[in-house]
Amino acid sequence: MSVVGFSHYFFLGLILFSIGALGALTRRNGITIFLSIELMLNSVNLILVSYASTNGNLAGQILVFFMFAIAAAEAAVGLAFFIAIYKHRRTINIDRLTFLRW
Amino acid sequence: MTSLIAIVLLPFLGAVVNGILSFSNSKRAVTFTALATTGGSLVIALYTIWRYLTELSPQPIEYVLYKWLEKPLEIQISFLLDPLSAIMLFVVTFVGFFIHLYSTGYMSDDEGYGRYFAYLNLFMGMMLLLILGSNLLVTFIGWEGVGLCSYLLIGFYYKQDEPPRASMKAFVVNRIGDFAFLIAIFISFAHFATLEYREILNAIATNQQLQDTVYIFGLTLPALLALLLFIAATGKSAQLPLYVWLPDAMAGPTPVSALIHAATMVTAGVYLLTRTNLLFQLSPNILKLVTLISVATAFMAASIAIAQRDIKKVLAYSTVSQLGYMFLAAGVGAFVVSIFHLFTHAFFKALLFLGSGSVIHAMEGEQDIYKMGGLKQHLPHTYITFLIGTLAIAGFPPLAGFFSKDAILAYTYDHSKAIYFIGLITAGLTSFYMFRMFILTFHGEFRGTEEQRKHLHESPPSMTLPLWILAIGSAFVGFIGKIPFTHYDLFGKILSPVIVKLEEKAVHHDVLHEVLLITLSVVAALLGLVAAKVLYSQGPTGDERLKSIITAPLYTLLKGKYFVDELYTFVIVTPLRTTANILWRFVDQLIIDGTLHLAAGIVQLISALGSFTTTGNLRNYMLYFVIGIILLIAYTVG
Amino acid sequence: MMLETVIFYLFASLAVIFALVVILHPDPVKATLSMVITLFSLAVIYLTIKAPLIAALQILLYTGAILVLFLFVIMLLNIQREISLPFSKPVQLWGSIVSVGFLIGIITNFAIKIKIEESVKNYSLVLIAESLFKENALSFIATGFLLLAAVVGATIIATKVKRG
Amino acid sequence: MKFLELLTNPSLTLIVFFPTLAAIPLLVANKRNEKRIKWYLLVVFTAEFLLSAYLVTLLYLKDGIKYFPLVADPTIPWLPRYGIAYRLAIDGISMPLILLTTFIMPIVILGSWSSIKKHWKLYGISLLILTTGILGAFLAYDLILFYIFWEVMLVPMYLIIGVWGGERRIYAAVKFFLYTLAGSLPMLLAILWLGWRFSKAAGYWSFHYLELLTMLLPPQEQLWLFIGFALAFAIKVPLFPLHTWLPDAHVEAPTGGSVILAAVLLKLGTYGFMRFGVPLFPHVKEEVIDLILVLSLIGIIYAALVAWVQEDMKKLIAYSSVAHLGFVTLGIFSMTEISWSGALLQMVNHGLSTGALFLLVGMIYERFHTKKFKELGGLAQPLPLLAFFLVFSAMASAGLPGLNGFVGELMILTGTYIGGYKIYTVIGAIGVILAALYLLRMLKETVWGEYTGAVKKDLHSYEKMALFPLAVLMLLIGIIPSVFIKPSQESILQTLKIYSVRKNYPKVTKPLIIPIDIDKEKK
pLDDT tens, per residue, chain D with 523 residues: 677 878 887 888 889 999 999 888 888 887 788 888 889 999 999 999 999 999 888 887 776 666 777 888 888 888 888 888 888 888 889 989 999 999 999 999 998 888 888 888 889 999 999 999 999 999 999 999 999 999 999 999 999 998 888 888 888 998 899 888 888 999 999 999 999 998 888 888 889 888 888 888 888 889 999 999 999 999 998 888 888 889 889 989 999 999 999 999 999 999 999 999 888 888 888 889 999 999 999 999 999 999 999 989 999 999 999 999 999 999 999 999 999 999 999 999 999 999 999 999 999 998 888 888 888 888 888 888 899 999 999 999 998 988 998 999 999 999 999 988 889 999 999 998 899 999 999 999 888 888 887 778 888 888 898 899 999 999 999 999 988 888 888 888 888 888 888 888 888 888 888 777 665 444 3
The three-state (H, E, C) secondary structure of D403-440, written as one string: CHHHHHHHHHHHHHHHCCCHHHHHHHHHHHHHHHHHHH
CB atoms within 10 A of CB B389: 31
Closest CA to D284 of D206, D223, D211: D223
Out of A26-30, C14-18, C65-69, give the one with best mean pLDDT: C14-18
Chain length of chain D: 523
Q: How far apart are CA B386 and CA B372, in angstroms?
A: 15
Please say which residue of B533, B554, B575 terminates a domain. Answer: B554
B43 within domain boundaries: no
Q: Can you tell me the mean pLDDT for B562-569?
A: 86
Residue type at A37? I
B39 within domain boundaries: no
Going by C-beta distance under 8 Å and a sequence separation of 6 or more, which residues neighbour residue B84? B271, B274, B275, B339, B495, B498
DSSP A93: B
B490 within domain boundaries: yes
Farthest-apart Cα atoms in chain C, separation: 66
Going by C-beta distance under 8 Å and a sequence separation of 6 or more, which residues neighbour residue B207? none
* B155 in Cβ contact with D449 (< 8 Å): no
B9 burial (CB, 10 Å; 0-12 / 13-18 / 19+) is middle
Phi, psi torsion values for B66, nearest 5 degrees: -165, 170
Q: State the pLDDT at residue D410.
A: 92
Q: Can you tell me the mean pLDDT for B400-412?
A: 87
Q: Which runs of consecutive H residues, i.e. helices, occur in chain C?
A: 2-24, 28-48, 52-57, 67-77, 90-109, 125-130, 137-159
* D300 in Cβ contact with D330 (< 8 Å): yes
Interchain touch D–A (≥3 Cβ pairs closer than 8 Å):
no
Which CATH number is A14's domain given? 1.10.287.3510
Q: Which contiguous run of DSSP H or E holds residue B546?
A: helix B542-550
Closest CA to D15 of D126, D105, D120: D105
Question: Where in the sequence is the domain holding B597, given as residue range(s)?
Answer: 565-637
Q: State the pLDDT at residue D59.
A: 82
Domain co-membership, B509 together with B597:
no
Per-position DSSP letters for B446-506, written without gaps between them: --S-HHHHHH--PPPHHHHHHHHHHHHHHHHGGGGSBPTTS--BHHHHHHTTTS--SS---
Domain co-membership, B374 together with B467:
yes
The answer to whether C84 contacts chain B (CB < 8 Å) is no
User: How many helices and strands (H and E) does chain D possess?
Assistant: 22, 6
Q: Is B194 helix (H, G, I), strand (E, B) or coil?
A: coil
Of chain A residues 28-57, which have a CB less than 8 A from chain B?
28, 33
Q: Which residues of C touch A80 (CB under 8 A)?
A: 153-155, 157-158
The answer to whether B638 contacts chain C (CB < 8 Å) is yes
* Residue B484 pLDDT greater than 80, yes or no: no
A97 within domain boundaries: no
Q: State the pLDDT at residue B464.
A: 87
Domain co-membership, B450 together with B599:
no
B617 within domain boundaries: yes
The mean pLDDT of chain B is 87
Task: Label the pairing between strands D215-216 and D512-513.
Answer: antiparallel
Please say which residue of B521, B554, B587 terminates a domain. Answer: B554
Going by C-beta distance under 8 Å and a sequence separation of 6 or more, which residues neighbour residue B599? none
Q: State the pLDDT at residue B111.
A: 84
Q: How far is CA B545 from CA B307, B322, B398, B549, in A?
A: 12, 26, 32, 6
Q: Do B623 and C94 touch (CB under 8 A)?
A: yes
Q: Pick from A25, A97, A98: which is nearest to B626 by CB?
A: A25
The three-state (H, E, C) secondary structure of D93-133, written as one string: CHHHHHHHHHHHHHHHHHHHCCCCCCCHHHHHHHHHHHHHH
Please tell me which residue, B505 or D431, carries the higher pLDDT value.
D431
Q: Can you tell me the mean pLDDT for C78-107?
A: 74
Q: How far apart are CA D436 and CA D459, in angstroms?
A: 26
Give pLDDT tens digits for B457-477: 888 888 888 899 999 988 888
Rounded to an integer, what is the distance from CA D234 to the centroid of its chain? 12
* Residue C163 pLDDT greater than 60, yes or no: no
A96 within domain boundaries: no
Closest CA to D325 of D364, D353, D283: D353
Q: How far apart are CA D375 and CA B226, in angstroms?
A: 46
Shortest Cα–Cα distance, B296 to chain D (Å): 26
The answer to whether B626 contacts chain A (CB < 8 Å) is yes
Q: How far apart are CA D131 and CA D17, in angstroms?
A: 9
Q: How far apart are CA C161 and CA D63, in angstroms?
A: 63
Q: Is B562 helix (H, G, I), strand (E, B) or coil?
A: helix
Q: Is B594 helix (H, G, I), strand (E, B) or coil?
A: helix
Beta bridge partners of B78: B64
* Residue B184 pLDDT greater than 70, yes or no: yes
Q: Can you tell me the mean pLDDT for B522-541?
A: 86
Q: How far apart are CA D520 and CA B443, in angstroms?
A: 88
Please say which residue of B554, B583, B600 terminates a domain. Answer: B554
Q: How far apart are CA B283 and CA B223, in angstroms?
A: 5
Lowest mean pLDDT among A53-57, B31-35, B73-77, D37-41: A53-57
Beta bridge partners of B368: B310
Closest CA to D104 of D345, D358, D380, D457: D358
DSSP B242: S
Domain co-membership, B476 together with B625:
no
Domain co-membership, B548 together with B603:
no
A19 within domain boundaries: yes
Shortest Cα–Cα distance, D178 to chain B (Å): 10
pLDDT classification of B296: cutoffs 50, 70, 90: very high
Domain co-membership, B464 together with B570:
no
The vertex-B468 CA angle with B465 and B469, nearest 5°, equals 85
B379 within domain boundaries: yes
Going by C-beta distance under 8 Å and a sequence separation of 6 or more, which residues neighbour residue B171? B147, B148, B150, B151, D436, D440
Q: Which of A3, A9, A15, A22 to mutate to test the interface with C (most CBs of C within 10 A)?
A: A22
Proportion of chain B above pLDDT 90, given as a percent: 26
Q: Pick from B73, B148, B167: which is nearest to D338 by CB?
A: B73
The tally of domains found in chain A comes to 1
Domain co-membership, B467 together with B516:
yes
Domain co-membership, B517 together with B577:
no
Q: Which contiguous run of DSSP H or E holds residue B214?
A: strand B214-216
Going by C-beta distance under 8 Å and a sequence separation of 6 or more, which residues neighbour residue A71? A38, A41, C61, C62, C66
Q: Which residues of A touch B618 (CB under 8 A)?
A: 33, 94, 97, 100
Interchain touch A–B (≥3 Cβ pairs closer than 8 Å):
yes
The tally of domains found in chain B comes to 2
Q: Can you tell me the mean pLDDT for A34-57?
A: 87
Q: State the pLDDT at residue D520.
A: 44
Question: Where in the sequence is the domain holding A36, given as residue range(s)?
Answer: 6-89
Residue type at B84? L
Distance in Å from the first CA to the final CA of chain B: 97
Q: How far apart are CA C85 and CA D519, in angstroms?
A: 80
Cα dihedral sign, B406-B412-B417-B423: negative
B113 within domain boundaries: no
Residue of chain A with shortest Cα separation from C152: A77
A31 within domain boundaries: yes
Q: Which runs of consecutive H residues, i.e. helices, occur in B250-379?
A: 254-258, 268-275, 277-282, 284-305, 311-331, 335-362
